[in-house]
Structures are given as structure tokens and as C-alpha cells.
């Protein structure tokens, strides 16, 4: 079951209490033996993860060029508990599933939405729940308040992801009601989609709730609509041995409270039941 914690909007960096809790439960990869065989990894001793760091506060690049965010912290923690060194490959989302299947990385760590179709192709562990928001220019000059208000509007979205698929479904639904079509504009990533909104090239941008809330808290955009299409978000792997090991880490983190501490710091929905590798029919 998924429950919602009563916490504030996510901050850019983890608080000291969360970091202390995480740090107290981990060991350096050099101090222990890897918990998975070399055959289960792209590179021995290393957990290679793909991410698209364009979704603050979940994953982003700070002013020093370093990766930050909840999912980066989570990935580092998983790697540490497996006695592996974390390594990240920054790449657009549209390349992530093909790259996993081609053996370019071990884990998709970018907040990939769970779907039955994806679960047919990968080992997926849902660990988070996210929904979709509609961001608009500050002040919401077009008065967008419900999905039907997007009819006839130009809306930007990252190409190839769950958000684009759901925007397409919404567009089909609006047209079936006799409303004007949405002019869907796809972008390589969410950062460029938001840049287009900032430049007035689009009327709205679709992203996950956490990112839209972060931009709204900064005062850059308004969040006109939120909570659309709530769906589990997962870590995805191709190798079954690795997936079982990651599953064990996540359940250990739930048991010792570090999972809850991390999610509470970011104001996110937490899982209360043990994690599972969720197949297409689960």
C-alpha cells in the first residue's frame, strides 16, 4: 500500500539527519566483498546506472557539475550496500531501455514508470509512486485548471517516456469529446521542455509531480494541475541476480528506516509493504 507523508516540498540537498542515517548503515565498497557476481555486472565491482539529470529535486546537476538528488542518493546507497562502486551514465530517457538491453548499464535509475509492457522486458522493482503535473507560466495567464483546458494548447513533454504516452492518451480523450487537439511538442529531456515554456514557445509542460512542485516552489512556474495518472516508479535491471540483490537492499533499507528517512526528506510517497520484483501480471 502507498501512503502519503505530511512533509514539506523537497529540498535540493539531503538534511544532516538523513545523511547521518544513511551513512551509519553503509560500508565503503573497498571494505567488503561484492554481493553479486562479476557475471551479473557490466563492469566487475561497479554498479553502472543510467540517469537523465534534468528532474530536480529527484536527479539533477548542481552548479559544480555534480549529480545530486534523491535518486542519486538512493543509487549510491544501493551500490554501497552491495559493496560496489557507483557509476552514472547521463543519457536521455529515450535511450535507456535499449541501452539496458544492449548491456550498456546495469540499472535504469531515473524514475522509470512501471508498466506491464516494460515489466515483460526488464526486472522492475517499484519503490516510489509518482503522478503527472502540468506546469504553466507564472500567474497561469491562460487559466489552465483541468485537463480539458489543454485542448488547443501547445504542450511540451520529454520524448519516449510515460509522460508522453499519457499526454497522448489525454489528447485522444479530449478529441473524442469533440474538443480541439493538443499540439504536443516533444523534447530530448525535461530541462529543454521547461526552457521552451520559459521562452513562450509552449503553453504548458508535462512532468512528474515532484519536479513541477520544485519549480513552483522556486517561483519559476505555476503548477496548474497535479496528481494525474498516479503510477509506481521503479528501478529496472536486465540481470535477475542483480535484481534480487537490489531487492534485498531496498527491503533492508525499509527495515532499518533509511528508506523512509530519505523519502520524508523529499516529501515523497513511501511504500509500506515489502518491495517485490513486479512482473507484468502482478
The owner of cell 545523511 is 19
Mean pLDDT of all residues in 143-162: 97
Same domain, 181 and 65: no
Average pLDDT over the chain reads: 90
Residue 75 has pLDDT above 60, yes or no: yes
Domain total of the chain: 2
How does pLDDT run across 162-185, given as a tens digit for each residue?
Answer: 999 999 999 999 999 999 999 999
Q: Could you say which DSSP state residue 43 is in?
A: B
Beta strands in the chain (DSSP E): 2-3, 46-51, 54-55, 59-61, 67-68, 85-90, 107-113, 123-137, 154-158, 183-187, 204-208, 221-237, 270-271
Domain that holds residue 31: 2-130+232-271
Q: Pick the range with the lowest mean pLDDT from 4-13, 16-25, 113-122, 262-271.
A: 4-13
The owner of cell 504548458 is 204
pTM: 0.83
Q: Judge whether 127 and 269 are in contact, CB under 8 Å.
A: no
Same domain, 180 and 136: yes
How does pLDDT run across 38-66, given as a tens digit for each residue?
Answer: 999 999 999 999 999 999 999 999 999 99
What is residue 271's predicted lDDT score, i.e. its pLDDT? Answer: 83
% of the chain exceeding 70 in pLDDT: 89
Q: What is the CATH number of the domain that holds 172?
A: 3.40.190.10
How does pLDDT run across 192-214, given as a tens digit for each residue?
Answer: 999 999 999 999 999 999 999 99
Same domain, 126 and 136: no
Could you tell me the three cell numbers for 25?
Answer: 548503515
Q: Could you say which DSSP state residue 273 is in?
A: S
Phi, psi of 234 (to 5 degrees): -135, 165
Same domain, 83 and 141: no
Q: Could you say which DSSP state residue 203 is in?
A: S
Mean pLDDT of all residues in 223-231: 95
Q: Judge whether 25 and 256 are in contact, CB under 8 Å.
A: yes
Beta bridge partners of 134: 206, 225
What is residue 30's predicted lDDT score, i.e. its pLDDT? Answer: 54
Peptide bond into 78 cis (omega under 30): no
Beta bridge partners of 54: 60
Same domain, 225 and 243: no
Residue 114 has pLDDT above 70, yes or no: yes
Is 263 a domain residue? yes
Amino acid at each position: 500500500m502507498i501512503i502519503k507523508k505530511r512533509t514539506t516540498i523537497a529540498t535540493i540537498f539531503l538534511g544532516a539527519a538523513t545523511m547521518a542515517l544513511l551513512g551509519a548503515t553503509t560500508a565503503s565498497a573497498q571494505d567488503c566483498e561484492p554481493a553479486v557476481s562479476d557475471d551479473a555486472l557490466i563492469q566487475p565491482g561497479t554498479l553502472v546506472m543510467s540517469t537523465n539529470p534534468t528532474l530536480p529535486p529527484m536527479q539533477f546537476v548542481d552548479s559544480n557539475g555534480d549529480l545530486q538528488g534523491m535518486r542519486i542518493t538512493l543509487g549510491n546507497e544501493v551500490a554501497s550496500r552491495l559493496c560496489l562502486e557507483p557509476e552514472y551514465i547521463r543519457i536521455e530517457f529515450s535511450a535507456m531501455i535499449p541501452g539496458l538491453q544492449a548491456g550498456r548499464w546495469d540499472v535504469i535509475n531515473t524514475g522509470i514508470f512501471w508498466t506491464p509492457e516494460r515489466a515483460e522486458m526488464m526486472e522492475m522493482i517499484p519503490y516510489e509512486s509518482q503522478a503527472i503535473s502540468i506546469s504553466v507560466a507564472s500567474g497561469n495567464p491562460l487559466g489552465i485548471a483541468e485537463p480539458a483546458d489543454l485542448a488547443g494548447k501547445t504542450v511540451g513533454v520529454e520524448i519516449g517516456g510515460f509522460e508522453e504516452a499519457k499526454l497522448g492518451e489525454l489528447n485522444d480523450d479530449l478529441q473524442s469529446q469533440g474538443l480541439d487537439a493538443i499540439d504536443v511538442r516533444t523534447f530530448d529531456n525535461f530541462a529543454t521542455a521547461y526552457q521552451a515554456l520559459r521562452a513562450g514557445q509552449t503553453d504548458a509542460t508535462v512532468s512528474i509531480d515532484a519536479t513541477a512542485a520544485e519549480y513552483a516552489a522556486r517561483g519559476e512556474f505555476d503548477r496548474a494541475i497535479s496528481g494525474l495518472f498516479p503510477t509506481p516508479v521503479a528501478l529496472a535491471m536486465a540481470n535477475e541476480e542483480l535484481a534480487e540483490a537490489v531487492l534485498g537492499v531496498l527491503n533492508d533499507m525499509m527495515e532499518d528506516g533509511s528508506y523512509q528517512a530519505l523519502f520524508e526528506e523529499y516529501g515523497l510517497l513511501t511504500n509500506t509493504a515489502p518491495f517485490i520484483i513486479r512482473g507484468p501480471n502482478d
